[in-house]
Every structure is written in structure tokens, then in C-alpha cells.
Amino acid sequence: MARSKRIVGLAELCKGYDTVLDIGTDHGLVLKSAFEKGYIKQAIATDLRDMPLQSAKNNLKNYPVNFIISDGFLALREPFDVAIIAGMGAHLINDILDHRPYGTYDLILQANDKVHLLRRYLMDHGLKITDEWVIHDHFYYVIIKATQGVMQLTDDDILVGPMLKTKPEAQAFYHHKLKLIDKIMKTADEVKLEELVRLRQAYNDVIIC
């Protein structure tokens, strides 16, 4: 079965790590892709419910993976080098990060919405963005890599991405966002319109004409 560009992209970012923690692993397809490519040696797969974890077990039965029922990091007792939290809303990712354990490890984060809220959370909670990417796979997905550290972002950086704005491939994403904003502005109320105008200016400022 062909893997989505999002799954393949997340798997590629696991390259070079020893133990990968996949929170909310669902079917375990990111880990399976990473194992098949030889990117990782072992993994920990967690999910809140038994049914998706069983699906992951079926897909990863031939690989060295420890499966744990857990609400985010809460039931985790094992060390890891990088944690993947992907395919969720920004609010949920932020809630999961509230309970992250102390230690030296990287984070690979992909929020399905409101990525700016995730960037602000990282800045306000002792985490720094080390890189960002955008992948177009029917929808646009922004992936953030972060680690422990301090960073200061401007309001514009929070909206468009401090690293993402330097990537040529992000230009199509910014144009897409502008089209969506222009469409929504036609029916927005006064409060929403003010927010959209601010967003539009931020995206327009990073577009290369």
C-alpha cells in the first residue's frame, strides 16, 4: 500500500535516532515506514485506546516495538531519543506536552490546525524550534522539530514560522492560506475580520513576488 507523503515525511525525520516514541501511534504506519527504510533501531508506540494500539501491533509485529496504553507521556517509563506527536489539533498537542518528562530529547510535532498556537506554546514553555517543513498531501501539513531551549519569536514568526518562511516550498502554502483568508473575509464579523487582516498581512509579507 502506498504511504502518504505525510507518513513518509514524518518517518524520514526519525533517521539517526535510536529509540523513537510515537504518541497516538494509531496504525503505527510512521514507525513501520521508518523501520522499513532502516532509519531506526527500536520504538515505543503508545495510544489512549486498545483498538488502535492493536492495529499498530499487527502492522509492527516483526519489529522491536514496545506497545503501551497511555494518555500521552503519562504511563511512559522508558527512555527515548525523539517523540513524535502528529495528526492531532494544536490544543491537544499542547496538553500532551504539559506532561512531557524531563530529559534531553527532540520532538517532531505535526498539528492539523492552529499551528501558531503550538509555536507560541513552545516559546512559552522552554522549547525551541530547530526546523520546520511543509508537506502537501491533499492538505498542507506543517511539521515542527523542537528541543529543550529558549527562543524568542515575533508575532509574525508565530504566524508564519521562523524556519518555514525561509523554505522555498512554503511559498505555495502561503499563497494557499491567502486564498482561504480572502474567501473567509467576505463573511467574517468585525472581530474575526481584524484577525484575518493581521494574518493576511503576515503571510503576504513572506511571499516572494
Give the confidence band of 5 by pLDDT, cuts at 50, 70, 90. very high
Give the pLDDT confidence of 22-34 residue by residue, as tens digits.
Answer: 999 989 999 999 9
Q: Is the dihedral of CA 180, 185, 187, 188 positive or negative?
A: positive
In contact, 118 and 111? CB cutoff 8 Å: yes
Give the pLDDT confidence of 111-168 residue by residue, as tens digits.
Answer: 999 999 999 999 999 999 999 999 999 999 999 999 999 999 999 999 999 999 999 9
In contact, 146 and 126? CB cutoff 8 Å: no
Q: 3-state class of 35 per DSSP?
A: helix
The pTM for the full model equals 0.94
So where are the chain's domains?
Answer: 5-153, 168-209
φ/ψ of residue 36, rounded to 5: -60, -35
Average pLDDT over residues 37-50: 94
Average pLDDT over residues 97-101: 96
Asked if CATH classification 3.40.50.150 holds for the domain at 5-153, the reply, yes or no, is yes
